[in-house]
Amino acid sequence: MVAPSDEELQAQRSDFGLRLSNSMAKYGPLCVGIDPHRKLLTDWGYNVDAEGAELFSMRMLQAANGRAAAVKFQTPMFERYGAKGFEALERVLYAARQMGVITIVDCLRGGLSTTISAIADAYFKPGAPLLADAITLLPYYGARSLNGLITEALENGRGVFIASLTSNPEGMSLQTAIRQSGDYRGRTVAFGIASNAQQHNADIDGMGSVGLIIGATIGQWMKDSGVNPSEF
């Protein structure tokens, strides 16, 4: 068996970024959030249960198909229904794959190495029950704690989005805190997270497969954090 060349590995690792970039070029930058909130289910005439969440999501998926670059699912909206909720999410993700719609699962995962392995099994590997194009991650076990999971994602042609500057007011004090040690000493926590993420996109032309979550309403926080998106 011949090991893949560096060029072949790089091509594999840019799969999600290329797919998303191509989809955005075709449909624009819109990502449709599919969040079956209790009120939405009621307003749309669906039962507030796993079946209602699935029907709502299928309807949203059909509307987004051919109109949006990607769709994003909030896992807690399905988790609250237990096993039936997970089954509903599995079916919706399968339907999206059949349509060729790019999927992002907003699950905000992270953890220790043993946990990371299980996350990869759930979302990235062939035959994964919740196979998605990308998922969201929380870096607060340490930004580098995610490196193994990011590698799993890239090796399977998937992507990740890492929470860096979120729009909730409670996040500012942590995300703009100044690091007291390590590689990014004297810079903000958010800057360290963004810089670590950037390393995974090194030497890739165009859009990489590792992205950041930056709230659209953060305003002054962006300046305070030292994160300049144009540099990443």
Collect all residues with Cβ–Cβ distance below 8 Å to 67 and sequence separation of at least 6: 27, 30
This prediction's pTM = 0.88
> Would you state the pLDDT for residue 2?
41
Domains and CATH numbers, the chain: 6-231 (3.20.20.70)
Angle at 172 between CA 169 and CA 173, to 5 degrees: 120
> Would you state the pLDDT for residue 9?
47
Tokens at 70, concatenated: 């990607």
> Would you state the pLDDT for residue 174?
80
Which of 101, 55, 111, 44 minimizes the C-alpha distance to 78? Answer: 55
pLDDT mean for each 10 residues of the chain (232 residues): 48 74 96 97 98 98 98 97 98 97 96 88 94 95 88 95 87 80 80 87 87 83 74 66
> Would you state the pLDDT for residue 12?
45
Q: Please tell me what DSSP assigns to residue 33.
A: E
Query: Which own/partner pairs from 19-24 qualify as long-range (CB within 8 Å, at least 24 positions apart)?
Result: 19/102, 19/133, 20/69, 20/70, 20/102, 20/133, 20/134, 20/159, 20/207, 21/206, 21/207, 23/69, 23/70, 23/102, 24/69
> Would you state the pLDDT for residue 38?
96
Cβ atoms 159, 134 nearer than 8 A = yes
Query: What's the one-letter identity of residue 68?
Result: A
